[in-house]
Amino acid sequence: MKYYSTNGKAPIADLHKAVVKGLAEDRGLYMPERINKLPQEFFDNIEKMSFQEIAYTVASAFFGEDVDPDALHDIVYDTLAFDCPVVNVKDNIYTLELFHGPTLAFKDVGARFMARLLQYFIKKENNHKQVNVLVATSGDTGSAVANGFLGVEGIHVYVLYPKGKVSPIQECQFTTLGKNITAIEVDGVFDDCQALVKNAFMDAELNAHMKLTSANSINVARFLPQAFYYFNAYARMKEQGKADNLVMCVPSGNFGNICAALFGHEMGLPIKRFIAANNANDIFYKYLQTGQYEPKPSKQTLANAMDVGDPSNFARIYDLYGKSHAKISALISGATYTDEQIRETMRECYKASGYILDPHGACGYQALADGLQPGEVGVFCETAHPAKFKEKVDEILGIDVTIPERLAAFMRGEKQSVAMSKDFADFKAYLMKQ
């Protein structure tokens, strides 16, 4: 499979290059040149297949030309060492729980897949030179990437995070791991961390010294595997005879997760329509209404992993539908919620069903409660476990959310990090010694 850039000015790349580079030379996002339709027979029997079997079929359609079948099989099965179940919340509203992975959020799926695919390419190259992943984080990306790559041979991860600006629950998920993960605590803000990473990629001397790569969420190896769980959700709903008028609702920030669902739809997945649920950052919602895409600075909200004012993957959606606003707005509708509405939704849902929503999932649940038509069945993604936002959730619902054991284990671990100034010279000097 070849990959082209959404900006149309970069050379065509193969999978290996697209994964290692992440972003194309013209700063566009990589798109597969073809989206293979899956045969009708697959959809006819899908409810008899396991999550891993389904995922392997989907993975083969994207990556089968570039990865040996046995290796791809192992990558998929190893990535999906946990389930993504569909659970009924209330009436015809179901949730696709994406928080059963190591860091309790959906980004685990993409991060684990990318780590294993990168390892496959390193082994194939056979020069045994260690690859170093640099990632800047304001919280959640760092933990997903660090845990996704944890213990993966041949790869070392450096997580840069702003000192005192990530929550203790987030911090422990990437500072207590040890092994091939190094946490770097930068005396600055998130933008300083990002600048250090960008400068490192551009520094010729450093790149001659060590092999550097990014694990950005726009990477094709992180975003495409997210399609796996939408196929599985369809299968599990079909098992219950509820899949005929399915509406998929995705709480969205950078729009990578919903974009993977749309790719699934292009492969033939019978979802009737999609809803992109937003917090107060309503750029896509406005685009659907007006046809104008107008990025804005992001606003801070309760659902902070969706605080994005210029969603990167809009470029992919735009490209996928030939830049047609008519096509996009026919398939996808939008919703936008204030923090006050998110709180109200969490309380209402808990009272009516006992289900504890996290602030991101709350946007998805409410968009279905507001938008489902008679005869439709809705599934929204619960993108993170409520315990990840324990302080907020406890305060809003007046409860004491139980912390799952795998999160508690991180919290008992010993914090280890390297203190760093925001000066690139210091960061470079540190890396040159590694």
Residue from 72, 102, 116, 140 binding ligand PLP (CB under 6 A): 140
Distance of closest approach, residue 304 Cβ to ligand PLP, in angstroms: 9
Residue from 18, 20, 96, 105 binding ligand PLP (CB under 6 A): 105
Distance of closest approach, residue 256 Cβ to ligand PLP, in angstroms: 3
Among residues 107, 388, 390, 422, which one is catalytic? Answer: 107
Nearer to ligand PLP, 38 or 276 (CB): 276
Distance of closest approach, residue 211 Cβ to ligand PLP, in angstroms: 27
Handedness of CA 177, 183, 185, 191 (dihedral sign): negative
| Cβ-proximal residues to 158 (8 Å cutoff; 6+ apart), any chain | 132, 133, 134, 135, 182, 184, 431
Locate 237 and state its tokens.
């709903």
Q: 192 to 231, contacts with ligand PLP by CB under 6 A?
A: none
| Helices (H), ranges, 224-358 | 228-239, 256-266, 283-290, 314-320, 325-331, 339-353
Distance of closest approach, residue 257 Cβ to ligand PLP, in angstroms: 4
Q: 359 to 378, contacts with ligand PLP by CB under 6 A?
A: 360
CA contacts within 13 A on the Cβ side of 25? 7
Does the active-site annotation cover 107? Answer: yes
Give the x-and-dash track for 246-285 against ligand PLP (CB under 6 A).
Answer: -----xxxxxxx----------------------------
Distance of closest approach, residue 352 Cβ to ligand PLP, in angstroms: 22
Q: What is the C-alpha to C-alpha distance for residues 411 and 169, in angstroms, rounded to an integer?
A: 7
Q: What is the C-alpha to C-alpha distance for residues 309 and 51, in angstroms, rounded to an integer?
A: 34
* Of 389, 340, 396, 349, the residue nearest 369 (C-alpha): 349
The answer to whether 225 touches 84, Cβ cutoff 8 Å, is: no
Q: Which amino acid is at 325?
A: H
Give the x-and-dash track for 299-318 against ligand PLP (CB under 6 A).
Answer: ------xx------------
Which residues carry out catalysis? Answer: 107
Interface residues with ligand PLP (CB under 6 A) are 105, 107, 140, 251-257, 305-306, 360, 383-384
